[in-house]
């Protein structure tokens, strides 16, 4: 990307991010997912790192949260409530450690890792042991005074247990997350829906909306909880891990976390958490990694809006943003012509994707997608990724319209669309693309399930003119396979044996393998 193009892209990204952050933080509304917004912020951060001369004081990367609403009193933070820089990849984790070592070459790095609860950050201030003031993060320097609402949360102690402390008569500040458990969120959302009231997209939005109610009675009716993660007050703690021992002694619930001696330990913790996250009672979106030595943490300082000594290592998003570099037509085994977005490579759900389905011509029109657009792509489970939304506000003016082809890209037959259907089809049964896809299906796991015969081998056999239709597979001999690349006598023998074995599949599986339109697994039986 040229410098001038990068500047325009940065400006567009800032405009869009600021718009969605205002909706979320100020108006309690949400038009795109947190993951999609994170992806845009990540792109902006990377571009600003590449072109630091374009960083401005009002860039979204330089501030935290949103402006406080006028309906609450404003409350300043003596120590700014910073947010954490996100990382998603193991390489980014290693890059961060390398960065720390460049800053402090002699430092012995030890980390404290804990769950990153997807909640609403607040600061609690105690005077002489009594809860005095509670404030939201706001823009990091000034939040909203929501003391009365926070007092309704049972897990926030109104008086600290300071029997073992020498700060009984001073000020104590604790920070943490207000959250709602998943079961409570589902129950409450159903109740709101029955009453015809506004429902919420996720537990964090509901927690935030509950804390920012003018009537504390409404807040008290909602099952909110608080989890502490930081102590601003000096209790003599030399390590962050010690704070997690002090917090329960003061009367707070906290995540026990884990001390990690190196990045390998951090990765093990992250992987363990990733496996159990769905079974946790509350939503988490990753882990927090802190340099455990508090003096080193302070010495490392702050870069922009984030402490250098901490990172949020998030789970791979199921939604993210990328750009459409092209749109191509893919012909399926039944002739269905499916438009596919060719994407700039991006990780979604732990997998690098380069393509996403656009389903059909009607979906392209509904989305309004153009070649060159920035889009939100999503992937759930093993489902093929698709384009969920276009972000037209990020257009540069160089995007190109996509006009649905009238002919098959493989055989050039005229496409047809039967009345009442949304899908254009290639009517030519001898279309090479259709025949190739039929062969893929014929040998697939749910059909004949021929071990060792997948799309790549099928392609090789077609290219060598050894097969052109399903019946040809059963005429193959070991001598046909041995000369092919990556085949030896043993692998050729194994494949021929697998082909012979497939002749004994149940009749229903054979019928299914024929790929007859409208004949699925149930009909085949």
Question: Is there a domain that residue 502 lies in?
Answer: yes
Q: Which two tokens stand for residue 160?
A: 């600290």
Calpha distance 258→255 (Å, rounded): 9
Question: Is there a domain that residue 80 lies in?
Answer: no
For 107-152, the pLDDT digits (tens) are 999 999 999 999 999 999 999 888 999 999 988 899 999 998 999 8
Q: Are strands 310-314 and 120-127 parallel, antiparallel or unpaired?
A: unpaired
Residues 286 and 331 in one domain: no
Q: In the predicted model, what is the mean pLDDT of residues 185-214?
A: 88
The pLDDT score that the predictor gives to residue 166 is 52
Q: What is the 3-state secondary structure (H, E, C) of 158-183?
A: CECCCCCCCCCCCEEEEEEEEECCHH
Residues 204 and 251 in one domain: yes
Question: Is there a domain that residue 423 lies in?
Answer: no
Residues 57 and 115 in one domain: no
- Which range of residues forms the domain containing residue 340? 319-401
Let me know: does 136 contact 144? Beta carbons within 8 Å: yes
Residue scoring higher pLDDT (310 or 163): 310
Residue scoring higher pLDDT (260 or 32): 260
Residues 257 and 177 in one domain: yes
Phi, psi of 279 (to 5 degrees): -95, -5
The pLDDT score that the predictor gives to residue 120 is 94
Chain centre to alpha carbon of residue 216: 34
Residues 323 and 307 in one domain: no
Residues 117 and 213 in one domain: yes
Angle between helices 263-276 and 90-103 (to 10 degrees): 150
Going from the C-alpha of 338 to that of each of 354, 369, 432, 441, 489, the distances in angstroms are 16, 15, 16, 17, 39
Of 258, 291, 313, which closes a domain? 313
Residues 250 and 198 in one domain: yes
Let me know: does 269 contact 115? Beta carbons within 8 Å: no
The pLDDT score that the predictor gives to residue 66 is 47
Residues 109 and 251 in one domain: yes
Of 258, 279, 313, which closes a domain? 313
The pLDDT score that the predictor gives to residue 65 is 46
Q: Which two tokens stand for residue 186?
A: 């589902």
Calpha distance 339→364 (Å, rounded): 8
Residue 42 scores a pLDDT above 80: yes
What is the domain-level CATH number for residue 479?
A: 1.10.150.20
Q: Which two tokens stand for residue 493?
A: 């023998």
Residue 348 scores a pLDDT above 90: no
Reported confidence tier of residue 515, pLDDT bands at 50, 70, 90: confident
Cross-strand pairs, 290: 112, 310
Calpha distance 124→159 (Å, rounded): 11
The pLDDT score that the predictor gives to residue 355 is 94
Percentage above 90 pLDDT, the chain: 63
Query: Which residues are the active-site residues?
Result: 116
Q: In the predicted model, what is the mean pLDDT of residues 41-52?
A: 91
Residues 361 and 309 in one domain: no
Mean of all residue pLDDT scores within the chain: 89
Q: Which two tokens stand for residue 174?
A: 């604790």
DSSP string, 468-494: SSHHHHTT--HHHHTTSTT--HHHHHH
Q: In the predicted model, what is the mean pLDDT of residues 461-482?
A: 92
Number of domains in the chain: 4
Q: In the predicted model, what is the mean pLDDT of residues 212-216?
A: 84
Residues 371 and 510 in one domain: no
Residue 34 scores a pLDDT above 60: yes
Q: Which two tokens stand for residue 68?
A: 């406080």
CA dihedral 42, 47, 49, 51 (to 10 degrees): -160
Residue 450, helix vs strand vs coil: coil
Question: Is there a domain that residue 393 lies in?
Answer: yes
Question: Is there a domain that residue 461 lies in?
Answer: yes
Q: Which residues contact 26 (CB under 8 A, 6 or more apart)?
A: 66, 67, 69
Reported confidence tier of residue 27, pLDDT bands at 50, 70, 90: low
**249-284 in b/e burial notation, b at 16+ Cβ within 10 A?**
ebbbebbebbebeebeebbebbeebeeebeeeebbb
Q: In the predicted model, what is the mean pLDDT of residues 162-167?
A: 57
Calpha distance 368→363 (Å, rounded): 8
Let me know: does 253 contact 177? Beta carbons within 8 Å: no
Q: Are strands 310-314 and 386-390 parallel, antiparallel or unpaired?
A: unpaired
What is the domain-level CATH number for residue 13?
A: 1.10.287.610
The pLDDT score that the predictor gives to residue 179 is 96
How many residues appear in the chain?
Answer: 525
Residues 389 and 499 in one domain: no
Question: Is there a domain that residue 70 lies in?
Answer: no
Residue 291 scores a pLDDT above 50: yes
Residue 111, helix vs strand vs coil: strand
Q: Which helix (H) or strand (E) holds 349?
A: none
What is the domain-level CATH number for residue 250?
A: 3.30.470.30
Compute the C-alpha angle 406/408/414, nearest 5°: 55
Residue 471, helix vs strand vs coil: helix
Q: In the predicted model, what is the mean pLDDT of residues 283-293?
A: 95
Question: Is there a domain that residue 10 lies in?
Answer: yes
Reported confidence tier of residue 238, pLDDT bands at 50, 70, 90: very high
Cross-strand pairs, 313: 87, 287
CB atoms within 10 A of CB 85: 20
Q: Which two tokens stand for residue 170?
A: 């001073």
Q: In the predicted model, what is the mean pLDDT of residues 31-57?
A: 89
The pLDDT score that the predictor gives to residue 97 is 96
Residue 168 scores a pLDDT above 70: no
Residue 380 scores a pLDDT above 80: no
Question: Is there a domain that residue 416 lies in?
Answer: no
Residue 63 scores a pLDDT above 80: no
Let me know: does 147 contact 130? Beta carbons within 8 Å: no
Of 298, 313, 328, which closes a domain? 313
What is the domain-level CATH number for residue 363?
A: 2.40.50.140
For 67-112, the pLDDT digits (tens) are 554 578 999 999 999 999 999 889 999 999 999 999 999 999 999 9
For 350-368, the pLDDT digits (tens) are 778 999 999 999 999 999 9
Q: Are strands 86-87 and 74-76 parallel, antiparallel or unpaired?
A: unpaired
Residues 353 and 305 in one domain: no
For 421-455, the pLDDT digits (tens) are 889 999 999 999 999 999 999 998 888 989 889 99
């Amino acid at each position: 990307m040229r410098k001038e193009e990068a500047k325009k892209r940065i400006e567009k990204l800032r405009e869009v991010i600021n718009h969605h952050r205002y909706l979320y933080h100020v108006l309690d509304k949400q038009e795109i997912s947190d993951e999609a917004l994170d992806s845009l912020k990540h792109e902006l951060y990377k571009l600003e790192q590449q072109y630091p001369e374009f960083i401005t004081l009002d860039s979204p990367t330089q501030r935290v949260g949103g402006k406080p609403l006028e309906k609450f009193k404003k409350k300043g933070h003596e120590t700014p409530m910073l947010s954490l820089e996100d990382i998603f990849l193991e390489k980014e984790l290693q890059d961060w450690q390398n960065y720390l070592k460049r800053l402090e070459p002699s430092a012995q790095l030890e980390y404290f890792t804990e769950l990153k609860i997807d909640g609403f950050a607040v600061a609690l201030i105690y005077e002489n042991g009594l809860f005095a003031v509670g404030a939201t993060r706001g823009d990091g320097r000034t939040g909203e005074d929501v003391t009365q609402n926070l007092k309704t949360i049972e897990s926030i102690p109104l008086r600290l247990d300071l029997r073992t402390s020498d700060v009984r008569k001073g000020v104590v500040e604790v920070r943490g997350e207000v959250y709602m458990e998943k079961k409570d969120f589902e129950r409450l959302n159903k109740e709101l829906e029955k009453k015809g009231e506004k429902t919420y997209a996720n537990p964090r939005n509901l927690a935030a909306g509950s804390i920012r109610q003018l009537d504390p009675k409404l807040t008290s009716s909602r099952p909110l909880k608080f989890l502490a993660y930081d102590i601003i007050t000096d209790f003599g703690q030399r390590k962050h891990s010690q704070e997690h021992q002090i917090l329960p002694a003061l009367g707070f619930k906290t995540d026990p976390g884990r001390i990690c001696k190196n990045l390998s330990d951090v990765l093990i913790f992250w992987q363990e958490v990733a496996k159990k996250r769905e079974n946790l009672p509350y939503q988490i979106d990753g882990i927090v990694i802190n340099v455990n030595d508090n003096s080193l943490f302070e010495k490392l300082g702050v870069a922009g809006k984030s402490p250098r000594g901490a990172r949020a290592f998030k789970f791979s998003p199921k939604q993210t943003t990328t750009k459409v570099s092209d749109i191509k037509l893919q012909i399926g085994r039944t002739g269905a012509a499916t438009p596919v977005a060719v994407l700039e490579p991006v990780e979604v759900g732990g997998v690098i994707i380069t393509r996403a389905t656009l389903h059909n011509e009607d979906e392209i029109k509904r989305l309004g997608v153009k070649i060159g657009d920035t889009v939100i792509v999503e992937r759930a489970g093993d489902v093929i990724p698709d384009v969920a939304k276009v972000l037209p506000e990020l257009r540069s003016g160089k995007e190109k319209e996509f006009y649905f082809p009238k002919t098959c890209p493989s055989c050039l037959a005229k496409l047809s669309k039967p009345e009442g259907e949304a899908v254009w089809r290639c009517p030519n049964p001898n279309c090479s693309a259709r025949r190739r896809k039929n062969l893929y299906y014929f040998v697939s796991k749910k059909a004949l399930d021929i071990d060792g015969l997948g799309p790549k081998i099928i392609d090789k056999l077609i290219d060598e003119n050894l097969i052109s239709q399903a019946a040809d597979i059963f005429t193959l001999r070991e001598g046909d396979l041995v000369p092919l690349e990556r085949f030896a006598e043993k692998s050729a023998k194994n494949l021929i044996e697998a082909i012979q074995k497939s002749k004994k599949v149940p009749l229903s599986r054979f019928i299914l393998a024929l790929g007859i339109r409208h004949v699925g697994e149930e009909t085949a039986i």
